[in-house]
Amino acid sequence: MPDETTPGAEQPGDRFAVTALVTPAQAAELFARDDLDFGCRPRLRPDADGTASLVILASRRTIDELRAKGHRLTVGENVSAAGRARLAEVGRGDRFEGGRIAPSGLAHKHLRPRPPGGSPGQAP
């Protein structure tokens, strides 16, 4: 049973970065499926032997199904767990204190007019 509190623990439905070694026909077959996730920039990386590598974001169930159909797969990182780990680094507080503090940094700020007796960016 996965530990729901540990960001790195595998959980049901997690997706993995899977590299499929495919022929042109297999690539076309996989790209035609609407249930596979190739990420935001699907890309075939040609190999010297005429095959190509294709990254698919897939669950364990999908990995098993693709292997059963004869696809050659290498399972990499659990990207769901990596995402949970990165999300755990994000603070939960309101660093702008409900609009009372203006953002800092190099970007251009669109501040509200200064209320009488208040500071720039402070909520009226």
**Residues 86-111: pLDDT tens digits?**
888 887 878 778 878 877 777 666 66
Residue 8: inside a domain: no
**Residues β-bridged to residue 22:** 52
pTM here is 0.67
> Which structural domain, as residue segments, surrounds residue 123?
93-124
Residue 19 has pLDDT above 90, yes or no: yes
Give me 100's structure tokens. Answer: 């009372």
Q: What's the maximum distance between 2 C-alpha atoms anywhere in the chain?
A: 73
* Contact criterion met (CB below 8 Å) for 54 and 42: yes
* Contact criterion met (CB below 8 Å) for 58 and 32: no
Residue 39: inside a domain: yes
Q: How many structural domains are present in the chain? A: 2
Tokens 């503090």 locate to: 101
User: Are 24 and 60 found together in one domain?
Assistant: yes
Q: Which helix (H) or strand (E) holds 59?
A: strand 52-59
pLDDT band at residue 1 under the 50/70/90 scheme:
very low
Amino acid at 93: G
The three-state secondary structure class of 92 is coil
User: Are 79 and 123 found together in one domain?
Assistant: no
Give me 58's structure tokens. Answer: 């897939």
